[in-house]
Amino acid sequence: MLTALSIRDVVLIESLDLEFGRGLGVLTGETGAGKSILLDSLGLALGARSDSALVRNGQAQAVVTASFDLSRDHPALALLEESGLEGEPGEPLVVRRIVKADGGSRALVNDQAVSVALLRDLGAMLVEIHGQHDDRGLLNPRGHRALLDAFGGIDTKAAEAAYRTWNEAEAALAEAREALAEAARDRDWLEHAVTELKQLSPQSGEEEELALLRANMQKGARLAEDIGTANDLLDGSEGGLSMLRQAARRLERIAGEHDKLGEALEALDRALVEASEAEMRLGEAAEALSCDPARLEEAEARLFELRAVARKHRIEPGKLPELAEQLAQRLAALEAGDQGLAALEQKVAAGRAAFDAEAVRLTEARTEAATRLDLAVARELAPLKLDSARFRTAMEALPETQWSARGRDRIEFEVSTNPGAPFAPLTRIASGGELSRFILSLKVALAESGGATTMIFDEIDRGVGGAVASAVGERLHRLSETAQLLVVTHSPQVAARGNRHLLIEKSHQGLVTRTSVHVLDESKRREEIARMLSGAEVTDEARAQATRLLEAA
């Protein structure tokens, strides 16, 4: 519910801080005192269109701040979470709108900048403003189906699940058909590519191995002469190793004759070990770099074939095995396509049948709920001086292109204001007073069906008095038992029903005009209701009547 409203520099309001409580709050004041400014300010905080003309003359900006106390399951908290904004159950929700004199504006929720569109969506969940120019809430046919479902306690979850399953099956079928159509268009190419890749039989990592083998064989051909010469110099009867061995044998016979000869023998032994190691490594290199022309030709042919096919398909050679598997699967799917489509078509048919059954159930439940709602509203019309009017909940089947997860019914509230007149949407009612009373009758009938926890009625009692005004006040009081209501009224019968009374006044100081709001105590409230009864001069009789109205409330 709305707990506080702070207004700074909006038109005639210089500074205003208001607190609100539960139940029915009434706002009264003489015509032109500024009640519309108060409502415009609240609307601004809730996302209404901004206008630099709202900024008080001579000021740089106007600021409106509204605070709300929300239940833990309030839908506004879910919207905050979806939008990535901070908002904790049990903590006040604060919305703020700043309008600058140069035309710019800012919107904030809990001191976090948001778009005006988000603020407007949030505002619609927080407050319902009902007046003759209101184009949302009960006047918007797009919300009538949800209102009827809430009134009838109609659960749409099963229909939503069936619709989702049906849609998913439809999407899968469409995707399969598109894939098959695309594959069919390229069938000749696909068959050729699969055959070619099957014959090629590319292996994972094969291209890298062939490239390395080819490089080594080419290198071996280039180094073969040097490797052979080095091998000849080391090996053979006249090679380096043979000479070293002969020298070692001679030194071995005389090494004991002198220390230096022994040291020379040791050095030769080490050289022989290293030279033997070199001979072995040279042999291994010769084997690794050996170039078999036939084998080289075979490796090059395979390598070039792999690379040529990869270029044709515009992929890296290493991805050929993956491509071969993908294309084989596409061809297999094409060949088994009719069977796959038949299975998907069966799923679509089953999904549609399930949704049809749920949609029929919803239609039947809504038909029954519509009958009850029509009777409930009809009971409220006569006391509100709408006894010639009729109300009905119009239902019609939507075309299949407009079906949704919530069924296939179009719901709209319609009225006929005079005997014999055709039914028409609520917005066709010419009289603002009649429209407000129709909205009140609907709200009373839908009282247990949810909606915003704060409702504002702007001059709902326009053009009525006496018993009708009393009936309006009684119904507003009844509504306030389940929701917070704020009512702008000129009716003393309505004002007397309020739990809290705010008086809006305009004052003048020289060339400066200001609007102020005062919370009235019991004596001042009785005086204000007496003024509403008698006009400019408050009489004792009016005061006595005001007392009787307050006591009867």
Query: DSSP readout, 503-529?
Result: EEEEEEETTEEEEEEEE--HHHHHHHH
41-74 b/e (C-beta count within 10 Å ≥ 16 → b):
bbbbbbbbebeeebbbeeeebbbbbbbbbbeeeb
Q: Under a CB-based contact definition with an 8 Å cutoff, are residues 219 and 289 in contact?
A: yes
Q: Give the pairing type, strands 512-519 and 500-509.
A: antiparallel
What span, in angstroms and rounded, lies between the C-alpha atoms of 128 and 399? Answer: 31
Per-residue pLDDT for 404 more than 50? yes
Give the single-character DSSP code of 486. E
The average pLDDT across 316-343 equals 82
The average pLDDT across 232-242 equals 71
Number of alpha carbons in the 13 Å side-chain half-sphere of residue 388: 7
Per-residue pLDDT for 135 more than 60? no
What span, in angstroms and rounded, lies between the C-alpha atoms of 394 and 460? Answer: 25
First and final C-alpha spacing in the chain: 23
User: Between 247 and 89, whose confidence is greater?
Assistant: 247
The average pLDDT across 299-326 equals 88
Note the pLDDT tens digit of each residue in 490-510.
Answer: 889 999 999 999 998 888 777
What span, in angstroms and rounded, lies between the C-alpha atoms of 480 and 487? Answer: 11
Per-residue confidence (pLDDT) for residue 97, from 0 to 100: 95
Per-residue pLDDT for 450 more than 60? no
Share of the chain above pLDDT 70, in %: 90
At residue 293, the 3 state secondary structure works out as helix
4-39 b/e (C-beta count within 10 Å ≥ 16 → b):
ebbbbbbbbbeebebebebbbbbbbbeeebbbbbbb
Lowest mean pLDDT among 117-131, 256-270, 387-401: 256-270
Give backbone dihedrals phi and psi of 530, rounded to 5 degrees, phi first: -65, -40
Per-residue pLDDT for 405 more than 80? yes
- The candidate with the shortest Cα–Cα distance to 162, out of 367, 400, 348, is 348
- The candidate with the shortest Cα–Cα distance to 403, out of 362, 450, 347, is 362
Per-residue confidence (pLDDT) for residue 107, from 0 to 100: 92
- The candidate with the shortest Cα–Cα distance to 377, out of 321, 327, 437, 317, is 437
User: Between 62 and 293, whose confidence is greater?
Assistant: 62
Per-residue confidence (pLDDT) for residue 464, from 0 to 100: 73
What span, in angstroms and rounded, lies between the C-alpha atoms of 23 and 5? Answer: 17
CB atoms within 10 A of CB 113: 9
Instruction: Identify any residues that bridge with 414 across adjacent strands, giving them in sequence order.
Output: 392, 425
Residue entry with tokens 């919305």: 95
What span, in angstroms and rounded, lies between the C-alpha atoms of 68 and 95? Answer: 8
Q: Under a CB-based contact definition with an 8 Å cutoff, are residues 384 and 471 in contact?
A: yes
Give the single-character DSSP code of 244. H
Angle between helices 293-312 and 206-234 (to 10 degrees): 160
What span, in angstroms and rounded, lies between the C-alpha atoms of 164 and 158? Answer: 10
Q: Give the pairing type, strands 93-100 and 61-68.
A: antiparallel
Q: How far is CA 382 from CA 386, 417, 432, 553, in A?
A: 5, 12, 17, 21
**Helix or strand run (H / E) with residue 381:** helix 337-381
Per-residue pLDDT for 133 more than 60? no
User: Between 179 and 369, whose confidence is greater?
Assistant: 369
Q: Give the pairing type, strands 112-114 and 13-19.
A: unpaired
Confidence of residue 377 (pLDDT cuts 50, 70, 90): very high
Q: Under a CB-based contact definition with an 8 Å cutoff, are residues 502 and 520 in contact?
A: yes
Residue entry with tokens 């010469």: 229
Note the pLDDT tens digit of each residue in 254-275.
Answer: 877 788 887 887 888 888 888 7
Q: Give the pairing type, strands 93-100 and 105-109.
A: antiparallel
What span, in angstroms and rounded, lies between the C-alpha atoms of 129 and 32? Answer: 20
Confidence of residue 406 (pLDDT cuts 50, 70, 90): very high
Per-residue pLDDT for 145 more than 70? yes
What span, in angstroms and rounded, lies between the C-alpha atoms of 544 and 432? Answer: 32
Per-residue confidence (pLDDT) for residue 338, from 0 to 100: 66
The average pLDDT across 428-437 equals 71
Note the pLDDT tens digit of each residue in 164-177.
Answer: 999 999 999 998 88
- The candidate with the shortest Cα–Cα distance to 298, out of 217, 199, 223, is 217
Lowest mean pLDDT among 312-316, 336-340, 547-551: 336-340
Q: Which of the given ranges, 104-113, 235-244, 273-282, 529-538, has the highest pLDDT on average?
A: 104-113
Share of the chain above pLDDT 90, in %: 29
The average pLDDT across 329-343 equals 75
- Quote the distance between the C-alpha of residue 530 and its chain's center: 52
- Quote the distance between the C-alpha of residue 323 and its chain's center: 38
Give the single-character DSSP code of 328. H
Structure tokens at 514: 């200001």
Per-residue confidence (pLDDT) for residue 225, from 0 to 100: 60
Give the single-character DSSP code of 296. H
Confidence of residue 73 (pLDDT cuts 50, 70, 90): confident
Per-residue pLDDT for 297 more than 90? no
**Mean pLDDT taken over the chain:** 84
Note the pLDDT tens digit of each residue in 32-52.
Answer: 767 778 888 898 999 888 888
User: Between 365 and 490, whose confidence is greater?
Assistant: 365
Instruction: Identify any residues that bridge with 516 across adjacent strands, giving them in sequence order.
Output: 505
CB atoms within 10 A of CB 201: 10
Q: What angle do CA 309, 314, 318 make, to 5 degrees?
A: 65
Per-residue pLDDT for 31 more than 80? no
